[in-house]
Structure 1
Amino acid sequence: MSSLPPSVVTDAPQQEDRTPQQSSGLQAGLKNRHLSMIAIGGVIGAGLFVGSGSGIAAAGPGILLSYALVGTMVVFVMRMLGEMAVANPTSGSFSAYADRALGRWAGFSIGWLYWFFWVVVLAVEATAGATILHGWVSSVPQWAWALIVMAVLTATNLVSVGSYGEFEFWFAGIKVVAIAAFIVLGGLAAFGILPGSDHEAVGMANLTGHGGFLPNGPGAILTGVLMVVFSFMGSEIVTLAAGESQNPRKAITKATNSVIWRVGVFYLGSILIVVSLLKWDDPAIVKKGSYVAALDSIGIAHAGEIMNVIVLTAVLSCLNSGLYTASRMAFSLGQRGDAPAQFARTSKGGVPRNAILGSVLFGFVAVFFNYEWPDTVFKFLLNSSGAVALFVWLVICFSQLKMRRIIEREEPEKLIVRMWLFPYLTWATIGMISFVLVYMLTDKDGRPQVLLSLLVAAVVIAISLVRERMKSGRKDAVVGS
């Protein structure tokens, strides 16, 4: 039996024209505009708005190099993933490719770890959204807001993949417009040409003043890397979502080719504006948040309230995509026999409802843990999923090393997107990711994340190996009888 579902294995000539959704039960409900915004919005998480202040305080203007290093790593990983996904679009994405390239144990393990990562994110984002909404309407308890947010987005995902795409289109659209407006207004203010603003025309002076570009030394760049690396998680979602579109190969190719400018504009562009407008050691950057402080500095009224709306949008977008992503990974695992068979069933509308409900159920449990035992049980969940993003990227790299050879041998005509300088850049990316993981062990906050994530990964891998051995034993027994 092949290690890939029908949506991935396309060796038979009669199936070459079948789309993944036709062979799996999913429906092509996502439009091109949905996928475009999913691709753009996938790299703009709430972490960009909320977490960038701490990175600036730690590394100064040098945080731009931290973002550039991580952004380069993400561009390379997405190029590798795009190469495999264009050749074989599937809702299982990198988990399905690992299944074929590295073995069943790899596809099983990284699939479940990725699912675990996103269901924990559901709890984090639901709580963050509830905090903002409770601040606006305090008569509704915070836990009730978390429940409402989760219930609404679960309902949209249960209706159809198109409803998920429509919500994500508008969520991502608001984020894109907000950052584009921020870059334009901030750029004008930095050079003193923003009408109505009395902000001093500082140009790029703040990048080298106040202790220089690297006021805390070159080592602060690596500290900044640890602070920003996880805000990039989500760029791979488009390769899962493309499996439910009419033309997945075209959508993935477009998303892969555009990832460079997306990272450059939304991350480097907006952070450049922040560190240009403000002195890197301005207390307001950490106290108010980098974007709020920057907006305040150029005289934008109600900057805090405006940013709360944008952050809430980013949170809802992440929650919406997290639920979609977790359910599609559970669906793919179910298809391959690595999860309950019920997860692989779809409704008449092509929605994997059992996979969605199973994922959101764990999300509700995690939200409960966050309110009842935030410093014990929930902290363990956070730390034990903290390094999973880096594990996923490593698996993508190793899978691509082998899948390139398989595609070249079996289906060379499908090698439309190619990783640059293969295999040298692939190995260089593996080295970069491995270095970040090792460096995290030297950091007091990063160490527990790596160690606990490794522990959970070891448990999942052990389960997968035991399952495979048991299956092999049963097959031998049948043959022997």
Structure 2
Amino acid sequence: MDNNKKSTANKSASLQVYKSQLADSLTKRQISMISIGGIIGAGLFVGSASGIAAVGPAIILSYVLTSILVFLVMRMLGEMAVIQPDTGSFSTYAASAIGPWAGFSIGWLYWWFWVLVIPIEAIAGADILAQYFAMPAWLFALLIVIFLTSVNLFNVKNYGEFEFWFALIKVIAIILFILVAGMAVLGWWPWANTEGISNLYQHGGFMPNGFGAILAGVLLTIFSFFGSEVVSIAAAEAKHPQEKIRKATNLVIYRIAIF
């Protein structure tokens, strides 16, 4: 018992020393928008087409199943972040609960994920921009990567504010997309040639490839939800992390489910 108390005290002391070297500048609104902005990107807009092509209209059910999974994970991750705010987040929790090998593996796998995703997002965004501007896609991709790298060199306060406003732009953009799509389906958008909601039951029906395709679609849709975990990673750089992470996690969960 005494050894457990000493271990807990040592961990708390180490965390306090570590946090003293960080700038506790992130606010609740910034943390929430950083997490929401992380799941709204070029991968969501471009990648959703692959899911629709593979599953059909039933891709909606794949998104529902994925939302439930993300909801459960975020609830548990949020509780751990409140108890032990740490920039290592789930890799630190895995190391504490399972062993150093688990924390090491999860940490490097997460690093590898972002090494792959950032170029994919940059290429997808560059392909979109290249359709509107007379510049090659590779140059847009290079500029996007340089821009993202520069933003990450800001101090925490300025980085959080930058991410908040740019994430807000993405939220506004997806809301406008939803409104335009709704108007097109209802026949109120003059520049769209649509068939209403007939595509939901024609061309093979709502589930043209069967129920198994819905489960396979989860593998495609879950990619769109990566980034929501940032709310726990930012815990150690927030003022009063226990209170703000708890509120930010709840807000992120419900907003993700809506989107």
Give TM class, smaller chain. 0.7 to 0.9
Residue 116 and residue 258 in structure 1: after superposition, are their counterparts in 2 closer, same or farther (change >3 A)?
same
Q: Quick one: which of 156, 163, 173 aligns to 1:161?
A: 156
Larger radius of gyration: 1
* Preserved CA contact (<8 Å) 2:22 2:237: yes
| 1:240 and 2:256 are equivalent in the alignment | no
Share of identical aligned residues, percent?
54
Find the counterpart in structure 2 of residue 186 from structure 1.
181
Residue 190 and residue 137 in structure 1: after superposition, are their counterparts in 2 closer, same or farther (change >3 A)?
closer
Q: Quick one: which of 78, 85, 92 aligns to 1:82?
A: 78
Equivalent positions of 1:204-223 (< 5 A) are 206-223=199-216
Superposition deviation, residue 35 in structure 1: 1.3
Superposition deviation, residue 98 in structure 1: 0.7
Find the counterpart in structure 1 of residue 65 from structure 2.
69
Q: Quick one: which of 101, 106, 112 aligns to 2:97?
A: 101
- In structure 1, what residue type is equivalent to 2:9? D
* Preserved CA contact (<8 Å) 1:190 1:199: no
* Preserved CA contact (<8 Å) 2:74 2:253: no
* Preserved CA contact (<8 Å) 2:36 2:256: no
| 1:258 and 2:251 are equivalent in the alignment | yes
Superposition deviation, residue 131 in structure 1: 4.0
- In structure 2, what residue type is equivalent to 1:66? S
Residue 222 and residue 250 in structure 1: after superposition, are their counterparts in 2 closer, same or farther (change >3 A)?
same
Measured in 1, the distance between the counterparts of 2:191 and 2:144 equals 37
- In structure 2, what residue type is equivalent to 1:101? A
Measured in 2, the distance between the counterparts of 1:176 and 1:81 equals 24
- Please, what TM-score do these two structures have when normalized by structure 1? 0.47
Residue 61 and residue 240 in structure 1: after superposition, are their counterparts in 2 closer, same or farther (change >3 A)?
same
What are the Cα deviations for residues 282-302 of structure 1, in whole angstroms up to 9, with x where unaligned? xxxxxxxxxxxxxxxxxxxxx
Measured in 1, the distance between the counterparts of 2:62 and 2:144 equals 33
Structure of greater relative contact order (alpha carbons < 8 Å, 6+ residues apart):
2
What are the Cα deviations for residues 15-61 of structure 1, in whole angstroms up to 9, with x where unaligned? 69959632xx1111223321121122223232220011121122221
Residue 34 and residue 230 in structure 1: after superposition, are their counterparts in 2 closer, same or farther (change >3 A)?
same
Q: Quick one: which of 7, 20, 26 aligns to 2:22?
A: 26
Measured in 1, the distance between the counterparts of 2:107 and 2:15 equals 27
Measured in 1, the distance between the counterparts of 2:133 and 2:185 equals 36
* Preserved CA contact (<8 Å) 1:75 1:259: no
What secondary structure does 1:61 align onto? coil
Find the counterpart in structure 2 of residue 152 from structure 1.
147
Measured in 1, the distance between the counterparts of 2:39 and 2:96 equals 27
| 1:172 and 2:167 are equivalent in the alignment | yes
CA RMSD of aligned residues (A): 3.1
Measured in 1, the distance between the counterparts of 2:192 and 2:238 equals 48
| 1:38 and 2:34 are equivalent in the alignment | yes
Measured in 1, the distance between the counterparts of 2:192 and 2:101 equals 60
Find the counterpart in structure 2 of residue 11 from structure 1.
9
Measured in 1, the distance between the counterparts of 2:120 and 2:233 equals 22
- In structure 2, what residue type is equivalent to 1:219? G
Measured in 2, the distance between the counterparts of 1:132 and 1:13 equals 47
What are the Cα deviations for residues 177-218 of structure 1, in whole angstroms up to 9, with x where unaligned? 1112222343344345x476787784x554334432212222
Measured in 2, the distance between the counterparts of 1:146 and 1:162 equals 27
* Preserved CA contact (<8 Å) 2:89 2:233: yes
What are the Cα deviations for residues 395-426 of structure 1, in whole angstroms up to 9, with x where unaligned? xxxxxxxxxxxxxxxxxxxxxxxxxxxxxxxx
Superposition deviation, residue 237 in structure 1: 0.9
* Preserved CA contact (<8 Å) 1:130 1:145: yes
- In structure 1, what residue type is equivalent to 2:177? F
Is there any run of 5+ residues in structure 2 with no aligned partner, and where? 1-6
* Preserved CA contact (<8 Å) 1:96 1:107: yes
Corresponding pairs, count: 253
Find the counterpart in structure 1 of residue 117 from structure 2.
121
Residue 143 and residue 39 in structure 1: after superposition, are their counterparts in 2 closer, same or farther (change >3 A)?
closer
